[in-house]
């Protein structure tokens, strides 16, 4: 499914936009002008990667500093150990669209339990 | 370099071993640790693990299938470093000869003098400490936490959530005034009283009472606080006794340069045991934070492999987090030396703030309570401003 996220013009370089799907997805506009989409929730605990520290093609989790590669979703070092999903991005007529991956997300235990228990 | 010995098999030691392989070191790698466990994560010990929400398997720091091609000597203590033989001496009499050494022996919890052999009295540093304390907290009762620092506050918060009756005793007039300053220390420590945990400040502990098991904490002002369980959270001391006489300069930990080098060639130090030269502050500083133990080994290992011939980069300002009563607390930089603190966002009464510490108008530190997004922005700005 292609989901419209936001206008490219509204997302300055170095910024992130959180898409309120379940689980949430984040769109990053890098300093080099590339656009990537990954799962927003860190795989370690309940932190939003859109709040993180974006540098090059990596975002550092705002809580415990594991770094995720925006291109592959892979994580560099603990405490997070599992990658996040990456999603396909399309920019058309100045609008950013995201095709959400159909893979199972790697949600942290606390968030997975909450989702399994239905809406909090 | 043909053999590197890493002494200390926890976060900083593991991170150093990883950095060695990542930076192309292909020789023999020996990792020595006195705990019997593979490297595990300590922060959850006072939080999710103590609460029973995470198990031991969740604490493992290595990833599945990770192979650093290292020889792990676990459950064995290093007792000395012989500079002429270039060897680490082990408690069982063995010696490990090496060309390069990484000192990563961390810190150990300070005990309360005179509390030996009294049941119900705990410190919290290791997995074994945490297991014992978790089992005891599960039985409930009255808990007195001695020390209102981060570990003490986290234990109080976790125990309160478990339904225990909790009192925190702090000798200083304001808890956390050291790391956070007076104003913010009192805002963060007010989390205790917000939740009905008693906080007694400005009074020292004279001793403990009880026959075989503790039954009260005796205060210097004559009060006696009944207790079934006591947790002593009065800080940690660097584990460096084993280096005495080795020629490695010690000063509240292993004294080292901004690149991790020590006073001995071929020896670097990382993590909680290391007192790194901080070019921002202009003096040495021992920082007991997770992120430093994780990040700095890369620089120290580069120094070791290059024989000291690399220019150290300026490390990011120290950063730590804490979780208390459901509030995410984050701090970066150095509060000491700030001449002003302003709340830029949020309301102190709601325990939701982003506060910036400045010296002569320049930001030197930032504190966030439940403000991860803004905190990250400021943390970035701080690193840029002081680089
Ligand atoms: C309960 C708790 C909660 C924490 N929470 C947070 C938090 O929320 N945020 C944060 O930023 N930081 C936190 N920290 C701090 C963080 O865990 C430490 O900064 C980090 O563990 C330091 O890693 P290290 O490898 O330098 O030292 P350590 O983790 O102390 O490891 C040193 C290892 O060396 C071993 N050793 C010591 N002497 C010898 C010897 N002679 N021979 C062989 N081995 C030896 C020790 O047994 C130990 O296994 C917490 C710490 C504790 C204890
Ligand atoms: S929540 Fe992301 S690293 Fe811990």
Question: Mutation test of the interface with chain B: which of A15, A60, A79, A106, choosing the one with the most B Cβ atoms within 10 A?
Answer: A79
Cα–Cα distance for residue pair A76/B222, rounded to 1 Å:
53
The preferred substitution site among B6, B19, B34 for testing ligand 1, maximizing ligand atoms within 8 Å of CB, is: B34
Q: Which helix (H) or strand (E) holds B304?
A: helix B290-305
Cα–Cα distance for residue pair A67/A41, rounded to 1 Å:
13
Please give the average per-residue pLDDT across B377-387, as a whole number: 86
Size of the A and B interface in Cβ pairs below 8 Å: 43
B374 has a pLDDT exceeding 70: yes
Please give the average per-residue pLDDT across B17-34, as a whole number: 98
Question: Mutation test of the interface with chain B: which of A14, A31, A77, choosing the one with the most B Cβ atoms within 10 A?
Answer: A77
Q: Which residues of B touch A64 (CB under 8 A)?
A: 43, 290-291, 321
Provide the β-strand partners of residue B327. Answer: B324
Closest C-alpha among B229, B58, B252 to residue B136? B229
Per residue in B278-322, pLDDT (tens digit) is 888 889 999 999 999 999 999 999 999 998 777 777 788 999 999
Provide the β-strand partners of residue A28. Answer: A16, A36
Which residues 25-44 on chain B approach chain A with CB closer than 8 angstroms? Answer: 41, 43
CB atoms within 10 A of CB A33: 8
Whole-number pLDDT of residue A1: 76
Per residue in B105-151, pLDDT (tens digit) is 999 999 998 888 899 999 999 999 999 999 999 999 999 999 999 99
The ligand 2 atom nearest the CA atom of A108: 1
A118 has a pLDDT exceeding 70: no
Whole-number pLDDT of residue B61: 95
Per residue in B180-218, pLDDT (tens digit) is 999 999 999 999 999 999 999 999 999 999 999 999 999
Q: A48 at the B interface (CB within 8 A)?
A: yes
CA distances from A55 to A5, A31, A47, A113 (A): 22, 8, 18, 31
Cα–Cα distance for residue pair B37/B13, rounded to 1 Å:
13
Q: What mean pLDDT, rounded, does chain A reach?
A: 93
Q: How far, in Å, is the centroid of ligand 2 from the Cα of A120? A: 21
B74 has a pLDDT exceeding 90: yes
Task: Choose among B41, B58, B321: nearest Cβ to A63.
Answer: B321
Please give the average per-residue pLDDT across A78-82, as a whole number: 92
Minimal C-alpha gap between A92 and chain B (Å): 29
Strand B78-82 relative to strand A53-55, pairing? unpaired
């Amino acid at each position: 499914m292609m989901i419209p996220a936001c206008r490219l013009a509204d997302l300055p370089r170095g910024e992130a936009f959180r898409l309120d799907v379940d689980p949430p997805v984040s769109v990053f506009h890098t300093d080099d002008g590339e656009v990537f989409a990954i799962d927003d929730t860190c795989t370690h605990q309940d932190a939003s990667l859109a709040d993180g520290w974006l540098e090059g093609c990596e975002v550092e989790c705002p809580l415990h500093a594991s770094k995720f590669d925006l291109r592959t979703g892979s994580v560099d070092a603990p405490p997070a150990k599992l990658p996040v999903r990456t999603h396909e991005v399309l920019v058309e007529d100045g609008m950013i669209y995201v095709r959400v991956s159909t893979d199972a997300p790697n949600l942290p235990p606390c968030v997975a339990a909450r989702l399994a228990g239905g809406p909090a | 370099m043909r053999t590197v010995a890493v002494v200390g098999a926890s976060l900083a030691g593991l991170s150093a071993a990883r950095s060695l392989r990542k930076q192309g070191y292909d020789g023999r790698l020996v990792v020595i640790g006195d705990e019997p466990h593979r490297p595990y994560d300590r922060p959850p010990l006072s939080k999710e693990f103590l609460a029973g929400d995470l198990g031991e398997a969740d604490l493992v720091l290595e990833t599945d299938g990770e192979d650093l091609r290292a020889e792990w000597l676990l459950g064995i203590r290093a007792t000395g470093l012989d500079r002429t033989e270039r060897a680490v001496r082990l408690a069982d009499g063995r010696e490990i000869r090496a060309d390069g050494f990484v000192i990563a022996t961390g810190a150990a919890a300070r005990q309360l003098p005179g509390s030996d052999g009294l049941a119900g009295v705990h410190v919290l540093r290791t997995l074994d400490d945490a297991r014992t304390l978790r089992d005891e907290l599960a039985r409930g009762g009255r808990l007195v936490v001695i020390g209102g620092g981060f570990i003490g506050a986290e234990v109080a918060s976790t125990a309160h959530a478990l339904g225990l009756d909790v009192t925190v005793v702090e000798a200083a007039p304001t808890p956390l005034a050291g790391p956070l300053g007076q104003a913010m220390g009192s805002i963060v420590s007010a989390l205790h009283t917000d939740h009905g945990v008693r906080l007694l400040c400005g009074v020292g502990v004279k001793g403990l009472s009880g026959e075989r098991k503790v039954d009260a904490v005796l205060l210097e002002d004559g009060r006696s606080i009944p207790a079934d369980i006591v947790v002593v959270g009065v800080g940690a001391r660097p584990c460096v006794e084993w280096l005495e006489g080795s020629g490695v300069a010690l000063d509240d930990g292993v004294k080292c340069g901004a690149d991790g080098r020590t006073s001995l060639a071929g020896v670097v130090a990382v993590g909680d045991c290391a007192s790194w030269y901080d070019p921002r502050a202009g003096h040495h500083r021992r920082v007991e934070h997770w992120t430093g133990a994780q990040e700095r080994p890369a620089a120290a290992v580069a120094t070791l492999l290059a024989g000291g011939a690399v220019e150290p980069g300026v490390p990011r300002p120290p950063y730590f987090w804490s979780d208390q009563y459901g509030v995410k607390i984050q701090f970066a930089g150095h509060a000491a030396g700030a001449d002003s603190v302003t709340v830029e966002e949020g309301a102190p009464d709601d325990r939701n703030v982003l506060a910036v510490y400045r010296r002569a108008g320049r930001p030197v530190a930032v504190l966030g309570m439940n403000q991860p997004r803004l905190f990250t922005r400021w943390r970035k700005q701080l690193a840029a401003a002081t680089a």
